[in-house]
Amino acid sequence: MKRFISLFLLIYSVAAFGQNKVLKIRTTHLTGNIYVCTSYGILDDGSVFPANDMYIITRTGVILIDTPWGEAETSQLIDTLRSRYHKKILLCVSTHFHADRTGGVDILKKNGIKTYSSLLTKQLAKQRGEKQPEFTFTGDTTFNVDNVILQAYYPGEGHTKDNIVIWLPQSNVLFGGCFIKSLDATDIGNLADANLKAWPFSIEKVKAQFKDIKFVIPGHQGWQGDTLMFGRTLELAKQASR
């Protein structure tokens, strides 16, 4: 039933895009106080493709990991969180510089929300004309918001040279972003900024760094399979290297 509802929402959203030029976000409960927000982008061939970000409800507000794919969809998320939880977004951490991770940071900043990324991510966003988070960090960094812990970890190059993952140790959730591919993926995806040679070694570093992972959220498509997605990412990276 959930799969049917999701398909219906996607078809409805595509139809709505044709009429109103706006795609509708979808939110899904993951575990505890953690939710996945799925937004949609239009690819060069005109097809609609899903992107996942994540949010965590805390005592005083909401932590956002990556923005939805664009300003209109980020505005939808802000409105959804205000109406559903009566809470505002406290901060957002972007996991790399591409638009499906940073496309809504200007809307967040206009709403007084702190936006963070690694220094390298901000530098690359500036070079490539993408939206730039306001605040930066260097090296692996831990955020503590209302006793909710987020650990930003840089495993090395892969999808991009700046890609990081976010670990939530209190719930054993890993947000892999576009560094991790879904089991639904049929290819490695956007290779414009990828390092296929380094990617497998970076995956092994993540596997060694985090134990007892219960959920893995990839940057796109479904998240069933959890740590099996590591193997799928390695497989697709090897296929792309041939």
**Active-site residue list:** 96, 98, 100, 159, 178, 181, 190, 220
Token pair recorded at residue 179: 């560094």
From residue 188, alpha-carbon distances to 25, 69, 78, 185, 199 in Å are: 24, 19, 31, 7, 11
Angle between helices 228-241 and 199-209 (to 10 degrees): 170
Find the Cα–Cα–Cα–Cα dihedral 167, 218, 132, 40, rounded to 10°. Answer: -140
Query: CA torsion sign, 58 to 63 to 69 to 73?
Result: positive
Count, in order, helices (H) and strands (E) of the chain: 7, 12
Paired strand residues for 54: 36, 65
Residue among 118, 114, 120, 113 at smallest CA distance from 152: 118
- Helix locations, the chain, DSSP H: 2-20, 71-85, 99-102, 105-110, 119-128, 199-209, 228-241
Cα–Cα distance for residue pair 198/126, rounded to 1 Å:
24
